[in-house]
Amino acid sequence: AQKITQTQPGMFVQEKEAVTLDCTYDTSDQSYGLFWYKQPSSGEMIFLIYQGSYDEQNATEGRYSLNFQKARKSANLVISASQLGDSAMYFCAMRDSGYSTLTFGKGTMLLVSP
Amino acid sequence: DVKVTQSSRYLVKRTGEKVFLECVQDMDHENMFWYRQDPGLGLRLIYFSYDVKMKEKGDIPEGYSVSREKKERFSLILESASTNQTSMYLCASQAGRRRETQYFGPGTRLLVL
């Protein structure tokens, strides 16, 4: 069974608008962590934001926030005030309890237009 | 800043050749990982290592082996390269703590002809 699902293969947004990238996950563990990464066309993976399953508040890092809905098993990334440099591939990933390995979704390509 | 380097950005090899992909991290991280990335499939874990001389199979280990003789270096080996191993290979390292992110190298784009 797929552990991480990103249903949007691609998204378009205009500069300065907000955009939400969807991520749902599947785990039977109570303790887990959720990550979002950005991959520009150059190829490097850049860590954006982390949410622990026991964290009481939704994570935020600058223009990035994570809309964590535990009961629905969703961890959507919200980018406020999109910039041209946000155009990239975005991956959601999960770490189950007891392991250091990450399971990645298939990614969402975000294109920001002027 | 954590730095993870990979020996080559681009590599072209012929079918049947033995291929070595090297990864070095400078932050004394315990954990290191090798992924391959293919369009539409995301990142898939090939092998990982929790410590020197230790290795664990990931989701797609067939056709690959690894070596970790020193803590900072994790090598991926394709014993006999095949065309279906043409891909982007990403190395990552991580400190032992669970909340820590993995830090990725720049990737190696391997083409097997």
Interface test with A, best of B5, B49, B101 (most A CBs within 10 A): B101
| pLDDT tens column, A20-69 | 999 999 998 888 999 999 999 989 899 999 999 999 899 999 999 999 99
Position A96 confidence tier, pLDDT thresholds 50, 70, 90:
confident
Nearest Cα to Cα of residue B101 among B33, B37, B6? B33
Please tell me the number of Cα atoms within 13 Å of A11 on its side-chain side. 24
Position B89 confidence tier, pLDDT thresholds 50, 70, 90:
very high
Position B40 confidence tier, pLDDT thresholds 50, 70, 90:
confident
Position A98 confidence tier, pLDDT thresholds 50, 70, 90:
low
Structure letter (DSSP) for residue A72 = T
Query: What is the pLDDT at residue A40?
Result: 95
- At A47 the three-state DSSP class reads strand
Q: How many CB atoms lie within 10 A of CB B112?
A: 19
Say if residue A1's pLDDT is above 60. no
Average pLDDT score over residue span A68-93: 96
| Cβ of residue A85 closer than 8 Å to a chain B Cβ | no
Q: What is the mean pLDDT of chain B?
A: 93
Q: What is the mean pLDDT of chain A?
A: 93
Query: Do the Cβ atoms of A47 and B101 come within 8 Å?
Result: yes
Q: Which of residues 42-71 of A touch B (CB under 8 A)?
A: 42-45, 47, 50, 52
Measured distance CA(A71)–CA(B68) in Å, rounded = 40
Task: Give CA A58 to chain center in angstroms.
Answer: 13
